Amino acid sequence: MGFVNKLMGGRKGNGEDLPSATASFATNTADGAIDTLGTIVRTMGEISFDIDDGAPEELFPTQCTELACHVENGAPVPSLDIAGSNDGERRWGHVRRFYIDRRQSERDFVNSRMADYRGVVEDLVGGLREIAQRDRETEFCINRNLKSVEAAVATGLLPEIKATLNQTIRNIAESLAQQKQDYEKRISEMNQRMSSLRQDLLSVREKMSRDSLTGAFNRGAFDQAIIHCLNINFILNQPVTVILLDIDHFKTVNDTYGHAAGDEVLRSVGDALARSFIRKTDFVARYGGDEFAVILADTTAANSATLLSRFYEYVGEITVPYAPDGVRLGCSSGYTEVIPGDTVESIIKRVDSALYAAKDAGRNCYKYAEAEVETIAAKSA
Ligand SMILES: Nc1nc2c(ncn2[C@@H]2O[C@H](COP(=O)(O)OP(=O)(O)OP(=O)(O)O)[C@@H](O)[C@H]2O)c(=O)[nH]1
């Protein structure tokens, strides 16, 4: 059955049968649009370039191939943690957000590279010009002095020759010292330029590790940060807490008040998280779709619960755009403390089960998942 028919069950929105000519036109158009979108998404992966964001080079092409299948038939996208659905429903919000973020990262990358190349070329040309100029001056100085030595030798007077040689040696030494000084200055300027390039690169990296909608870190940055935290926990034995949070009924927000309202809600939740977890080491990331993850280094689960209760106060103040008064947003969260022997998978599994427990308990609450030490020890043995 065609795409429109699949969506509408062969009926118009008001329940009447679609006139067959209109239905087949709409079906052909929608199927064509889906095919075209799938091809575009696949091609973007096939003809892609590395944007130096720290992710493996093959990740983006894989994501595109999976997203193309998702667009075409609702297949799951494992590389982005998007599950498939039985009725073929697409996660259009994910697809849209993924390509908006990618495009912005590509633009930042290209702009920064262009600026780098222009700067380096200008520096190089300027440096070569100065060196050539200085070399000409040194050459001129040496020739002039050699001529005076020749003239002195021609006189045959020893004191004259000696004085001229002394002067020549002084002149050439001065000229070479000046040349050395100029080169050193030039090298130090180039070093400064290189270090400012490095800074630029770091700031582009920082931008590329952010989710453009909420300003929180993105999933790639989270995946790196959690490994870092596991290492810190292993070396320093400091408590680390991980929180996973999902907005309640977010799909309904999108469906009822529009995608722009959904985006605004995501921004508000990101903002509430940033206001609740304010230490420099607190790490807030958009985990995907309507999910956020927080890593709290050097924080016990008990302290995290205090911070979570502050977050829930802020959540209570969030209003859903265009919604009538009284419609309040809710979030469900799971949290757990990292223990020795934990892996990224064991933490995510645990925190995910706590999140589900919060959903089961009626939503808009947070639940703690205790680690089963023996299970983890057995797994890591
Ligand atoms: N507005 C907007 N929506 C998004 C974005 N990314 C994902 N989504 C949507 O977020 C919704 C996530 O909904 P689900 O996780 O399926 O479920 P839910 O409605 O939150 O249900 P529960 O989690 O069970 O309460 C989907 O409708 C996605 O299309 C985005 O960047 N902006």
Q: What is the mean pLDDT of residues 66-84?
A: 90
Flag whether 369 is in a domain.
yes
When divided into structural domains, the chain yields a total of 3
**pLDDT, tens digit, 9 for 90 and up, residues 271-300:** 999 999 999 999 999 999 999 999 999 999
How far does residue 254's CA lie from ligand 1's centre (Å)? Answer: 7
From the CB of 249, is ligand 1 less than 6 Å away?
Answer: yes
pTM, two decimals, is 0.60
From the CB of 253, is ligand 1 less than 6 Å away?
Answer: no
Instruction: Report the distance separating Cα 289 and Cα 237, nearest Å.
Output: 33
Flag whether 131 is in a domain.
yes
Beta bridge pairs of residue 32: none
Catalytic residue among 53, 211, 248, 290: 290
From the CB of 266, is ligand 1 less than 6 Å away?
Answer: yes
Instruction: Report the distance separating Cα 377 and Cα 228, nearest Å.
Output: 20
Same domain (yes/no): 197, 227:
no
Same domain (yes/no): 229, 374:
yes
Flag whether 149 is in a domain.
yes
How many Cα neighbours within 13 Å face the side chain of 365?
11
Atom of ligand 1 nearest to the CA of 259: 1
Same domain (yes/no): 242, 358:
yes
Phi, psi angles (nearest 5°) of residue 370:
-80, 135
Q: Are 96 and 67 in contact (CB under 8 A)?
A: no
| Three-class DSSP category at 47 | coil
Same domain (yes/no): 270, 371:
yes
Structure tokens at 337: 């403390």
Same domain (yes/no): 363, 243:
yes
Task: Please tell me what DSSP assigns to residue 132.
Answer: H
Total count of residues recorded for the chain:
381
Residue 53 a catalytic site member: no
How far does residue 250's CA lie from ligand 1's centre (Å)? Answer: 5
Stated as kind and residue range, the H or E segment containing 284 is strand 283-288
- pLDDT of 15 over the 60 cut: no
Same domain (yes/no): 236, 362:
yes
Q: Domain limits at 338?
A: 219-380
From the CB of 94, is ligand 1 less than 6 Å away?
Answer: yes
Same domain (yes/no): 242, 376:
yes
What ipTM goes with this model?
Answer: 0.93
Q: Are 18 and 26 in contact (CB under 8 A)?
A: yes
**pLDDT, tens digit, 9 for 90 and up, residues 177-197:** 888 888 888 788 877 777 776
Same domain (yes/no): 130, 32:
no
Angle at which helices 59-73 and 92-155 cross, to 10°: 160
Instruction: Report the distance separating Cα 203 and Cα 111, nearest Å.
Output: 13
Residue 207: its pLDDT value, please? 73
